[in-house]
């Protein structure tokens, strides 16, 4: 499916909401690139562009890359030919300041098909999902004790289906860290969510099963946009 005008989608939601999975599904269905700040930063650093060098300085010092620099990188990124029919943002904007910046980009202003989806899961559900993640330090496979359970166990420890290595819980997926990530999320997301609500572009998805979330998202896009079937 392609778009008459540009299709711009922003995915919001707490850690564990499954934004990455939805991003892949949306990217495939609507042929728009999935733009994440992490990828943009890595890309700019690889290319050794001026912006990339600046970003690298901050990251090297272990500091957050400032909003205006992220903004410049996003502006540069949407000029790429693959963004001709639109773009999907994941992990950006992260706060109200970034949201306001984004709405000021000409590329975004011109789009008649602009959607913000908030995949809303409770903190308890986020903790349940993330704390059940297991990770293979060797081949980097990711498991989940709720729906992607490894087949073998040794001395009470799950083993990687792929390479037999003992699986670990990443620091990011430890309950205390998850609680902290959720706190940071709520603090920075609340004002941004209200901002999008006031612009009447916010859609809150309350389903939590992957297929249902995707079905809700596509229904909304198809009902409210100028999309055309190929
Ligand atoms: Zn493995």
Q: What is the pLDDT of residues 10-66, one digit of tens each?
A: 999 999 998 988 999 999 999 999 998 888 888 888 888 888 898 888 888 877 788
**Distance in angstroms (rounded) separating the CA atoms of residues 97 and 78:** 19
- Under a CB-based contact definition with an 8 Å cutoff, are residues 130 and 178 in contact? yes
How many angstroms separate the Cα of 8 from the Cα of each of 72, 79, 104, 109, 202? 18, 14, 14, 10, 13
Tokens 């899961």 — which residue? 121
pTM: 0.85
Distance 135 CA to ligand 1 centre (A): 8
Which residues make beta-bridge pairs with 135?
A: 142, 168
User: How much is the CA Rg of the chain, to the nearest whole Å?
Assistant: 19
**Distance in angstroms (rounded) separating the CA atoms of residues 89 and 196:** 14
**Distance in angstroms (rounded) separating the CA atoms of residues 141 and 133:** 11
State mean pLDDT over 135-145: 95
Distance 180 CA to ligand 1 centre (A): 28
pLDDT per position as a tens digit, 123-133 = 999 999 999 99
How many angstroms separate the Cα of 4 from the Cα of each of 12, 113, 230? 25, 9, 11
Catalytic residues: 19, 94, 133, 170, 181
Q: Which two tokens stand for residue 131?
A: 């704390």
pLDDT per position as a tens digit, 154-202 = 999 999 999 999 999 998 899 999 999 999 999 999 999 999 999 999 9
The reply to whether CATH 3.40.190.10 applies to domain 2-33+80-122+179-228 is no
Distance 169 CA to ligand 1 centre (A): 13
Q: What's 225's DSSP letter? A: S
Distance 126 CA to ligand 1 centre (A): 25
Distance 17 CA to ligand 1 centre (A): 24
Instruction: Check whether 230 has a pLDDT greater than 60.
Output: no
Which residues make beta-bridge pairs with 113?
A: 7
């Amino acid at each position: 499916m392609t778009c008459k005008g540009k299709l711009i989608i922003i995915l919001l939601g707490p850690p564990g909401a499954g934004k990455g999975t939805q991003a892949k599904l949306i990217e495939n269905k609507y042929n728009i690139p999935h733009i994440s700040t992490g990828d943009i930063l890595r890309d700019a650093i690889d290319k050794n562009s001026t912006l990339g060098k600046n970003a690298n300085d901050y990251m090297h010092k272990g500091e957050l890359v400032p909003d205006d620099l992220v903004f410049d990188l996003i502006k540069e990124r949407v000029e790429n030919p693959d963004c001709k029919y639109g773009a999907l943002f994941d992990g950006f904007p992260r706060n109200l300041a970034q949201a306001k910046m984004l709405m000021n980009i000409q590329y975004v202003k011109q789009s008649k098909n602009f959607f913000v989806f908030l995949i809303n899961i409770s903190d308890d559900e986020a903790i349940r999902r993330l704390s059940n993640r297991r990770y293979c330090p060797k081949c980097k496979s990711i498991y989940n004790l709720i729906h992607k359970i490894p087949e073998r166990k040794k001395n009470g420890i799950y083993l990687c289906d792929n390479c037999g290595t003992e699986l670990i819980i990443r620091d990011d997926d430890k309950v205390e860290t998850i609680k902290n990530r959720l706190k940071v999320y709520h603090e920075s997301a609340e004002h941004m969510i209200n901002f999008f609500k006031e612009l009447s572009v916010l859609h809150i998805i309350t389903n939590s099963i992957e297929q249902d979330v995707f079905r809700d998202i596509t229904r909304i896009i198809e009902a409210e946009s100028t999309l055309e079937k190929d």
